Structure formats: structure tokens, C-alpha cells
């Protein structure tokens, strides 16, 4: 019988955010496919979990996916983790989950921490309509085009940004969407976590610590006047 692939979300900062189900799964599987064995060992050692690790990174993704699927076809149960957060959300894993599904292997999501959902939950933005763009192009012109597709759509737009691109992306947002509300999440759930709120025209001028990992929400809902009864 085929084994099962478990897609396991792990903490994005605070180790206390790991779920009981994630811990039970990591303890129960035969092997763990991970983005960076050195990084994942820190997490596993913290919780006293000893498993064989299979490196699964962008550099070896295609070949590793075939090898891991072969192991599951031999009956091994395998957990897929990324360095932090939920695999396949701007992290490696898509090739493996797709190939596993094509080969008739059961894929089970073990949900948990994500910078995207954490920031949305604290934003106060109406996120019943949200678009996640992941990391935008490093080329400013192309990044502008990627954002401009959503100029006329009332929604919340989420992007991940590296520290050295932060000011550039904020400028792009102002050019495309105007003076919209923005919330920046820096180092989500880590010791230096910050939630920075402001408008697109003034945030680039703020003294923002440009270190760590960033998630940005753009509130592209048109402001409407309140309608009182009287």
C-alpha cells in the first residue's frame, strides 16, 4: 500500500505556535522532507523528535520529488515541512504535492502558522476578498505590472517583500493604488515583531527597520461615506 504525504505547517517564529496535530504527525511519520535540514533540526530537537531527514529545496526539487514519491509508493509515510510556515506558500513543495496526487498518493494538509493569515487577522481590513501575490518581481517595472492588474478590484492585496525591496514596493503601491491604507508585518511572531500601519504616501518616509522578513497588506477598498438614518 502507498504511504501518505503530510503537508505540515511549522512555526514562523514563536515555537509555541506549533499545533498538537503537527507534533503528533512529525512523531508518527517515517521520514521528514525539509527545505533545510540544519534549520529543521533545530525545531525537531526542541521537541525531541528524531527522524530521517530528506532535503527538499528549490535546487533539487524535481529529482527529490520523484525520489520521495517512490518512497511513499513503497509504503513510507512522509511529512513535508518548509523552513517556516506553511509549505507551498512561497516555499518549495508544489512539485511534490502535485506529483504525489498524480500518482494516487493521499496528501493530507496539517494547517498552522502563516505570516499571511496572521497579518490579515490583525489588520482590521475587510479581507473577505483577498488576493495573495507572494513575492513580486525584483524588476520594478514588472512588479508595477503585477500589482496594476488589481487596480480596479476592491480587495485586500497581500505580498511578501524582502527587506532591501521594501521602500521600492511601497512606492509602486502609491503610484498604482493612490493613498491607500497599508499594514506592514515585520518578523511576524518573532521577538522583534512589528505591525506598522499607515498610508501609501507617507510610509516610504518613515524610519522602518529594514531587517528581517516582511508581509504587506494593501487595502484597495474604496472608502464610502457612512449612511446614517437621519
Structural domain harbouring 44:
4-110
More confident residue, 54 or 210: 54
Whether 83 and 35 have beta carbons less than 8 Å apart is answered as yes
Confidence category of residue 225, pLDDT binned at 50, 70, 90: very low
CATH number (domain holding residue 202): 3.30.950.10
Question: Do 127 and 64 share a domain, yes or no?
Answer: no
User: Taking 60 as the threshold, does the pLDDT of residue 127 lie above it?
Assistant: yes
What pLDDT does residue 58 have?
81
Q: Which of 91, 110, 129 is the last residue of a domain?
A: 110
Question: Do 52 and 131 share a domain, yes or no?
Answer: no
Question: How confident is the model over 67-79, as pLDDT tens digits?
Answer: 999 999 999 999 9
CATH number (domain holding residue 87): 3.40.1010.10
Question: Do 20 and 94 share a domain, yes or no?
Answer: yes
Question: Do 30 and 101 share a domain, yes or no?
Answer: yes
Question: How confident is the model over 138-153, as pLDDT tens digits?
Answer: 999 999 999 999 999 9
Question: How confident is the model over 87-125, as pLDDT tens digits?
Answer: 998 888 999 999 999 999 999 999 999 999 999 999 999
Domain count, the chain: 2
Question: How confident is the model over 173-199, as pLDDT tens digits?
Answer: 999 999 999 999 999 999 999 999 999
In a domain, 226, yes or no: no
Percent of the chain past pLDDT 90, that is, above it, reads 83
User: Taking 80 as the threshold, does the pLDDT of residue 230 lie above it?
Assistant: no
Residue in the structure block whose three cell numbers are 506529483:
99
Amino acid at each position: 500500500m502507498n504511504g501518505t504525504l503530510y503537508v505540515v505547517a511549522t512555526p514562523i517564529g514563536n515555537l509555541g505556535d506549533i499545533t498538537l496535530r503537527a507534533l503528533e504527525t512529525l512523531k508518527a511519520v517515517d521520514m521528514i522532507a525539509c527545505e533545510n535540514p540544519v534549520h529543521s533540526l533545530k525545531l525537531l530537537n526542541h521537541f525531541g523528535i528524531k527522524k530521517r531527514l530528506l532535503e527538499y529545496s528549490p535546487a533539487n526539487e524535481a529529482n527529490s520529488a520523484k525520489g520521495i514519491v517512490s518512497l511513499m509508493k513503497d509504503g513510507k509515510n512522509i511529512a513535508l515541512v518548509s523552513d517556516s510556515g506553511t509549505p507551498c506558500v512561497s516555499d518549495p513543495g508544489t512539485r511534490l504535492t502535485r506529483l504525489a496526487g498524480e500518482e494516487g498518493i493521499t496528501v493530507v494538509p496539517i494547517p498552522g502558522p502563516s505570516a499571511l493569515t496572521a497579518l490579515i487577522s490583525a489588520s482590521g481590513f475587510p479581507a473577505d476578498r483577498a488576493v495573495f501575490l507572494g513575492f513580486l518581481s525584483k524588476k520594478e517595472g514588472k512588479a508595477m505590472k503585477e500589482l496594476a492588474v488589481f487596480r480596479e478590484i476592491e480587495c485586500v492585496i497581500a505580498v511578501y517583500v524582502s527587506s532591501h525591496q521594501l521602500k521600492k514596493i511601497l512606492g509602486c503601491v502609491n503610484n498604482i493604488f493612490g493613498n491607500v491604507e497599508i499594514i506592514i508585518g515585520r518578523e511576524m511572531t518573532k521577538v522583534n515583531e512589528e505591525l506598522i500601519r499607515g498610508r501609501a504616501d507617507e510610509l516610504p518616509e518613515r524610519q522602518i527597520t529594514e531587517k528581517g522578513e516582511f508581509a504587506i497588506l494593501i487595502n484597495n477598498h474604496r472608502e464610502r461615506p457612512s449612511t446614517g438614518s437621519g
